[in-house]
Amino acid sequence: MTLAVMLLAGCNEQAVPPKEFDGATALSYVQAQLAFGPRIPGTPGHERMAAWLDSLLRTRADTVIAQRWVHRSAAGDSLSLVNFVARFNPAATTRLLFLAHWDTRPRADGPMSRDSALPVPGANDGGSGVAVLLGMADALKKSAPEIGVDLLFVDGEDYGDFDSDRDVLLGSRYYAAHQAPGPAPRFAILFDMVGDKELQIPQEGYSATGAPDVVELVWSIAARAGHGEVFVREQGITLTDDHIPLQQAGIRAIDVIDFSFGGPDNKWHHTPDDTLDKVSAASLQIVGDVGMAVVRLQKQ
Ligand SMILES: [Zn+2]
């Protein structure tokens, strides 16, 4: 057993800490994002959202790093992209990384979409993960973590085409090559599509194979927090998502994702129907509670 595995296993004995995440506020963060319009790289909504995220994080975190770069797309467009890293307890050597993508998809080109010319509103795909991280930022500002916590908001996840692997996962790829200074995180948790009213989170395939002990830790904490009905102990789909570039960079990263948005056929994914009414404060609350419990139960 490695030291890291022992540290993880030891946490399983401890009681789950009191709840401190506010699901209603998290839902208001989804609403605020939708008010910017689609957050597509190269559009005004994307710029407004970046400015909002930047100012909001600077009033909460100890340090904020904005990573700005220009990506030349397959179509030849120059996209100005930005990742934000909100650091809490930046001097701590034991660190956790939580991430979500903040951009939204330019085209609603999912297989169940009624109009692939429209952009994706991104209440769930984009909005929900950001809302959970922002709710965690609120809780971490109120009560500083014992360990170090980095909240990473990656840009350009959903811009391009996953089949050809072009112009997707841009922010997580950039971060994997330009990590925040200091020690690497003990592990990383990606939140994606975690606001679905009918939330069901099975264990994503690359997470279960790439970081099985982290999956076990998170699902066991969720069960002890009373959320075993949501964090189900089932094998989920295997997905290329922002955890993959981190895994490839040697970070033990998992993807917490509900890829059954609107039912088992995932019918609202990458459609114009990814709207505010499809997500709930209760679902964000569950995921935020689990995220905060993971933070509070990790020791130096
Ligand atoms: Zn997407």
- Tokens 């795909």, residue located: 125
Tell me the CA–centroid distance for residue 38 and ligand 1, in Å. Answer: 12
- Rounded distance from Cα 56 to ligand 1 centre (Å): 24
Q: How far is the CA of 125 from the centre of ligand 1 (A)?
A: 5
Residue of 20, 40, 21 lying closest to 131 (CA atoms): 21
Helices (H) and strands (E) in the chain, counts: 9, 6
Joined tokens for residue 94: 């034991």
Backbone angles phi, psi at 277, to 5 degrees: -65, -10
pLDDT in tens, 58-90: 999 999 999 999 999 999 999 999 999 999 999
Ligand 1 centroid to residue 110 C-alpha, Å: 9
Residue 4 pLDDT grade (very low, low, confident, very high; cuts 50, 70, 90):
low
Measured between alpha carbons, how far is 112 from 119 in angstroms, rounded to an integer?
A: 14
- The answer, yes or no, to whether residue 6 has pLDDT greater than 90, is no
* CA of residue 196 to ligand 1 center, whole Å: 14
Q: How many CB atoms lie within 10 A of CB 213?
A: 17
Q: Starting at the edge strand that comes first in sequence, how are the strands of the sheet with 95-101 ordered? A: 63-72, 78-88, 148-154, 95-101, 187-192, 253-257
CA gap 161, 171 in Å, rounded: 15
Ligand 1 centroid to 200 CA: how many Å?
17
| pLDDT tens digits, one per residue of 191-243 | 999 999 999 999 999 999 999 999 999 999 999 999 999 999 999 999 999 99
User: pLDDT at position 298, please?
Assistant: 94
pTM for this model (two decimals): 0.95
Q: Which residue has the tokens 């004995």?
A: 13
Distance 209 CA to ligand 1 centre (A): 22
Examine the pLDDT at 3 and tell me if it is beyond 70. Answer: no
Q: How far is the CA of 270 from the centre of ligand 1 (A)?
A: 6
Plot region of 255 (φ>0 → left; ψ -120 to 50 → alpha; else → beta): beta
Q: What is the pLDDT of residue 13?
A: 58
From CA 87, how far away is CA 145, in angstroms rounded?
11
Express each pLDDT in 122-171 by its tens digit.
Answer: 999 999 999 999 999 999 999 999 999 999 999 999 999 999 999 999 99
Q: Is the pLDDT of residue 1 over 90?
A: no
- Ligand 1 center–CA 158 separation, angstroms: 5
pLDDT tier at 14, thresholds 50, 70, 90? confident
Measure 120 CA to ligand 1 centroid, in angstroms. Answer: 9
